[in-house]
């Protein structure tokens, strides 16, 4: 039975190759080559492959590259999702297929929702393949302009042991961009503590330095505003904020010094210039 199954799959693959060659050599009507589009769902093809479903998935994938990636064709994009559903149902662990399918859906099929759905399926089936979640994060950031959603995908990436170290740095940047400076600080702190490379530790420290200043100043400015709203005047010192329980402690800057406070204007600031986030001071 196995031998017959392999024969069927190889015959099927040969038909794909002949169709592609015929189209390329003789410019046959695209209907010949596009008959592949009408294959049934992968869950029905899988039993028919007699155990050679991974091989069948590979060759449908190769066909899809030829069909959707060849400028000589005018591919039917409405079948794009169906094509990659077949491939990934035949072989759910085919990580590259999720990546390629999403790429086609975003840039050729103009169907980002289908691309994201395919990547979500890939993440579910391959929870240890960090590259799929990373692709989803970058599409959210670059194409969908949804940094918060991108951060959610990169949270998945950094939890995978095989993920590259720079993923945490990317995630820290995303959290800063969505306004979560405290989380960004914690991530840079983890980078600082875990890295053995001096220049990475220095970069991490610089981010931690500036983020601490910004977090401290935001907390103090908020407390000063609340004090002013309640009393109608600015506190005469930061100590008064502590005594009045608007803050639980008076923060000091990363250099070990007090922040500068002007009781006439209610302005609080850092005595020096920030290194990385200068425009946010």
Tens of pLDDT along the chain (281 residues) come to 445 455 445 555 545 544 554 445 444 444 544 555 556 665 656 665 556 778 878 888 988 888 888 777 677 788 899 899 999 999 999 999 999 999 999 998 999 999 999 999 999 999 999 999 999 999 999 999 999 999 999 999 999 999 999 999 999 999 999 999 999 999 999 999 999 999 999 999 999 999 999 999 999 999 999 999 999 999 999 999 999 999 999 999 999 999 999 999 999 999 999 999 988 76
Total number of domains in the chain: 2
- pTM to 2 decimal places: 0.81
User: Quick check: is 213 in a domain?
Assistant: yes
User: Quick check: is 150 in a domain?
Assistant: no
Are 8 and 98 within one domain? yes
In angstroms, rounded to a whole number, what is the distance separating the alpha carbons of residues 214 and 230?
A: 24
- SS3 label, residue 213: helix
Residue 58 is predicted with a pLDDT of 87
User: Quick check: is 166 in a domain?
Assistant: no
C-alpha 110: how far from its chain's center?
19
User: Quick check: is 273 in a domain?
Assistant: yes
In angstroms, rounded to a whole number, what is the distance separating the alpha carbons of residues 185 and 169?
A: 11
Q: Inter-axis angle of helices 181-194 and 166-177, to 10 degrees?
A: 160
Domain around 247: 207-280
Final residue before a domain boundary, out of 85, 100, 126 = 126
Are 4 and 120 within one domain? yes
Are 1 and 109 within one domain? yes
Are 120 and 1 within one domain? yes
Contact between 244 and 233 under an 8 Å Cβ cutoff? The reply is no
Q: Which residues contact 198 (CB under 8 A, 6 or more apart)?
A: none
Residue 75 is predicted with a pLDDT of 75
Contact between 84 and 51 under an 8 Å Cβ cutoff? The reply is no
In angstroms, rounded to a whole number, what is the distance separating the alpha carbons of residues 129 and 120?
A: 12
In angstroms, rounded to a whole number, what is the distance separating the alpha carbons of residues 248 and 242?
A: 6
User: Quick check: is 254 in a domain?
Assistant: yes
For residue 271 the two structure tokens come to: 């005595």
User: Quick check: is 61 in a domain?
Assistant: yes
**Dihedral sign, Cα of residue 134, residue 139, residue 145, residue 146:** negative
Residue 25 is predicted with a pLDDT of 45
User: Quick check: is 101 in a domain?
Assistant: yes
User: Quick check: is 274 in a domain?
Assistant: yes
Final residue before a domain boundary, out of 92, 126, 160 = 126
In angstroms, rounded to a whole number, what is the distance separating the alpha carbons of residues 234 and 143?
A: 45
Are 6 and 107 within one domain? yes
Contact between 201 and 242 under an 8 Å Cβ cutoff? The reply is no
Final residue before a domain boundary, out of 126, 142, 172 = 126
């Amino acid at each position: 039975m196995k031998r017959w199954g392999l024969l069927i799959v190889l015959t099927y693959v040969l038909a794909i190759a002949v169709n592609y060659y015929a189209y390329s050599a003789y410019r046959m009507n695209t209907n010949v080559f596009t008959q592949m589009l009408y294959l049934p769902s992968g869950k029905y093809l899988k039993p028919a492959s007699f155990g050679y479903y991974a091989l069948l998935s590979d060759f449908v994938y190769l066909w899809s590259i030829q069909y959707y990636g060849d400028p000589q064709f005018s591919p039917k994009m409405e079948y794009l999702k169906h094509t990659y559903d077949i491939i990934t149902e035949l072989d759910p662990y085919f990580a590259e297929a999720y990546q390629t399918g999403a790429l086609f859906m975003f840039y050729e099929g103009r169907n980002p929702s289908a691309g994201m759905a395919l990547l979500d399926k890939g993440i579910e089936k391959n929870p240890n393949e960090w590259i799929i979640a990373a692709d989803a994060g970058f599409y959210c950031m670059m194409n969908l302009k949804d940094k918060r959603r991108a951060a959610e995908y990169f949270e998945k990436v950094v939890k995978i042991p095989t993920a590259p170290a720079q993923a945490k740095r990317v995630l820290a940047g995303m959290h800063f961009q969505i306004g979560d400076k405290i989380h960004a600080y914690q991530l840079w702190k983890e980078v600082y503590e875990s890295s053995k490379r001096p220049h990475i530790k220095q970069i991490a420290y610089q981010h931690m330095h500036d983020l601490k200043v910004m977090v401290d100043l935001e907390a103090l400015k908020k407390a000063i505003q609340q004090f002013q709203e309640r009393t109608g005047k600015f506190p005469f010192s930061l100590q008064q904020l502590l005594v009045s329980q608007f803050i639980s402690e008076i923060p000091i800057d990363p250099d070990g010094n007090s922040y500068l406070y002007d009781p006439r204007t209610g302005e609080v600031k850092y005595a020096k210039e920030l290194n990385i986030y200068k425009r946010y001071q």
